[in-house]
C-alpha cells in the first residue's frame, strides 16, 4: 500500500463517517416481571418489536444515574433507583443527521439493573421520537415469546443469569 502523507486523502477517507453514541437500558423488575416497551409501527428501525426502557446520552446529561432516571421517566413514567451495569454491547444504525454521507452511528450501550420506586408505568411522558405504543410487565419465564429487538436477545440472556 502506498504511503499517505498526513492530511492527504487516503484509503480511510472513502469510508462512511461513523459517529459514536452512548446509551443505557434499564432492566426493571418487580414481582418476577420485567418491564418491556413495544416500538410503534412508525418506528424507523424496529417497528412492533419489544425492548426495555432507556436511550442515548444527550449533551446536557452530566450524570449517568440521572441520565437513566430521565430516560425511564420520559418513556414509562416510573421513578427508579439505578443499579449496577451488568452487560455492555454495541450496534450500528444509520445516522439520520448525515444521510448524504451515508453516515452511521455506533451505539455503545450499558444494561443496568434498576429497582422501581413506583410501579404505575404508562406512556404519557414520552417524546414523539420514542415511537412507543405499549409497555408491559412480562413474567421472566415468558420473555422468550416476545419479538425482541435482535441486539437485545443476548442482553436478556445475560440478565437472566443470576448475579454472583
Percent of the chain exceeding pLDDT 70 equals 88
53-72: pLDDT as tens digits: 999 999 898 899 999 999 99
Q: Is the pLDDT score of 2 beyond 60?
A: no
Cα separation of 12 and 19, whole Å?
15
User: pTM (2 decimals)?
Assistant: 0.86
Three-state DSSP state, 129: helix
89-101: pLDDT as tens digits: 999 988 877 666 7
| Residue 79 phi, psi dihedral angles, 5° rounding | -100, 135
Rg value, the chain, Cα: 18
Fold of the domain built from segment(s) 24-160: Nucleoside Triphosphate Pyrophosphohydrolase (3.90.79)
Lowest-pLDDT range, 11-25, 42-56, 136-150? 11-25
Beta partners for 114?
Answer: 28, 82
Domain boundaries, the chain: 24-160
- What value does the mean pLDDT take over residues 121-150? 94
Beta partners for 81?
Answer: 115
| Residue 146 CB contacts under 8 Å (≥ 6 apart), including other chains | 36, 50, 138
CB 130 within 8 A of CB 96: no
Q: Residue 129: which pLDDT band, with cuts at 50, 70 and 90?
A: confident
Amino acid at each position: 500500500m502506498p504511503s499517505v502523507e498526513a492530511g492527504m486523502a487516503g484509503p480511510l477517507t472513502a469510508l462512511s463517517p461513523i459517529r459514536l453514541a452512548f446509551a443505557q437500558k434499564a432492566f426493571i423488575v418487580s414481582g418476577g416481571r420485567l418491564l418491556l416497551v413495544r416500538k410503534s409501527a412508525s418506528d424507523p428501525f424496529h417497528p412492533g418489536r419489544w425492548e426495555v426502557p432507556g436511550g442515548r446520552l444527550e449533551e446536557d446529561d452530566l450524570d449517568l444515574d440521572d441520565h437513566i432516571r430521565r430516560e425511564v421517566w420520559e418513556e414509562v413514567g416510573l421513578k427508579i433507583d439505578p443499579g449496577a451495569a451488568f452487560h455492555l454491547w454495541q450496534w450500528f444504525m444509520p445516522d439520520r443527521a448525515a444521510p448524504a454521507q451515508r453516515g452511521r452511528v455506533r451505539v455503545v450501550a450499558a444494561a443496568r439493573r434498576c429497582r422501581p420506586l413506583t410501579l404505575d408505568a404508562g406512556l404519557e411522558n414520552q417524546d414523539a421520537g420514542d415511537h412507543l405504543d405499549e409497555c408491559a410487565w412480562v413474567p421472566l419465564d415468558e420473555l422468550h415469546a416476545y419479538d425482541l429487538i435482535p441486539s437485545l436477545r443476548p442482553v436478556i440472556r445475560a440478565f437472566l443469569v443470576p448475579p454472583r
